[in-house]
Structure 1
Amino acid sequence: MESSDNRWVVRAGRGGRFIDEFIDGGFVGLGHGYHPSSGSLPADPTRESLGAYLESIYPGWKPGKVTNAASQLYRFMVELSVGDTVVTVDLSRRLYVIGTITSAPYLQADADMALRRKVTWTQVAPRDALSVPTRNTLGSILSLFRLADEPWDDLSAHQRPIDQADTPAAVTPPKAPKDLPPDVPEEESSLDGLLHDIQQKSREFIEDRIAALDPDEMEELVAGILRAMGYKTRVSDKGPDRGVDVFASPDGLGLQEPRIFVEVKHRSARMGSQEIRSFLGGRQRGDRCLYVSTGGYTREARYEAERANVPLTLIDLPMLGELLVEHYDAVDIETKQLVPLTRVYWPLDDE
């Protein structure tokens, strides 16, 4: 199979929720209003015929939404080709995964991402090693877009074999870019598209700032968020064998429930089931547990958490960023100094 010079980014659904399916299943997929239950796609697709197809299924969609979705479907079905390079985003592990398209589009019945192409995944590039302009470009909210030369050159310079995905990357604390957003692709030129694009980029840059903290600062950040939620906290003393990293309760002494035990792991590797079992050892009725892993979790770890005998919530980097933003007004000044943020205002739609 010959490779081509075409390079595409295909996002793994909203929030990257299909990333494990993409990588483990060896494919990329697209939804955008299409599902086999909605009827057959046009046999010889054009943007116009796909737009008419979507309008017939979703008569309430605004014209701009129809145009955007039709354009994305057309690109996936017609413009992508076997041999093209494809990049997808693993948000929880802060990785861009790189592969090669190996099939024509096909339909997978009873799947959320029903329209698919097979991919051989071979390389990864850590987000923390990339320049701010590259991160900005890769943060587009589009599910599918063509990747320009400059961000691709940056990705290529930092890529490594996929079996080295958990090797830590050198982290350069990012500075917020002064020229957000960059040139906006035609599909997202509407005001709503610009807003969503800026929101997506802001989330990713907030995660960048959090990821640049050292392990001790990460524990203080988690404790600060819990205080903003109304708990009193204790951060364990530094040194080996400290037990839990953060303890929280309504009274700060553990005499009132809930007693919240928090483990904080700030590393690139995903946490597995063994780490979850070790953390849960010794927990008692009435305890509540949080496990914070900026590197994310394996599927087995999530299964272990679901069947735990005490309530356990797994928090990855995107969720930690969401919690910080949600409670930012209430966090104390020490916590705000760890991740300084500012509020951005946007005009509301008149409709």
Structure 2
Amino acid sequence: MIRFLIRRILGGAFVVLVVTLAVFVLFGPVLTWKSNISPARLYAGKNPSPQQIESVKALLGLDQPYYVQYAYTLRRLVVGPTQEERDRVCPGSTAAECDQLLGRFGSSFAKQRSVDSLIWSRFPVTLSLAIVAALIWMLISIPIGVLSAIRPRSLLDRSSTVFVLIGQSLPVYYIGLLAIYFLAYKFEIFPLSGYENFSLSNPWPWLYHLLLPSTVLALQFAAIYVRITRSQMLDTLNEDYVRTARAKGASESRVVVRHALRNASLPIVTMFGLDLGLLLGGAILIEVTFGLQGLGALAVEAAKRLDVPTTAGIVLFSAILIVVANIVVDVVCATLDPRIRLE
């Protein structure tokens, strides 16, 4: 298991390295070449003089060759800002004061703050939205998929097919607008927008504000996972070991939960890891639709204001998050099926 985990971590580190190179090229040379937008010009403000642009380039290290800039980016991402960068960008300030401007992901052009602080201030909203949405879609999709497989062609099975078609056909923002109008505005069951911080003493306000947007985000995924769960359960229920368990007198609930569902859950867990990127993408639309100040809203705001470091930082942070989550999913899959470790 240790060797399996080390291989997955090394593979994830390589993926992160490739992503950092892609992000650096896209938001650096390609952006400057395709749009004639210089990061130094954006940082210098409106109508900067050529002297101001050159001084900003020297300040941010943009006057160096691209391979040197990429090496600085990697070093800052791994160990944080160096003392040399602190002395160059904010001379006379303490390390703590300078780190409010600098960070592992750079400095925001629009807000003159480190991208790290912006990301960590918005990340709890996106994380809460994703966790609640994942719980909702699993609680909806797995029971419906299992029951549809146990009773094929029943009313529940046919109803789940209709649910799958509707869930996959309607865009998430359209469902969100309908939910806001009817459930928040018309009947006032849920709040129109807003977010409450999580509290162990009273988590209900946090959950109450997240319930509607998370449910809207979960519906699209739940429709997909109902189909996947049903298909996997139908295949598993026809396996020889399931028939053997029934022949030995095991109860139907034990056969379904202990034998069939456990083996059918491996593709579901794998798909969950692959869908994390789609989950973050859907969170952007949901945050904008419901007025939640998460990473999605921050990304939209940064793109509108041409805040290159913030946009690049969010892309890179999301990629790292997906890589880490997929390593966790691989470990879970290896725990469910030890044969994966041997492969």
TM-score range, shorter chain: under 0.3
**Structure 1 or 2: larger strand share?**
1
Q: Which one has a bigger Cα radius of gyration?
A: 2
Give the alignment's TM-score, normalised by structure 2. 0.21
Give the alignment's TM-score, normalised by structure 1. 0.21
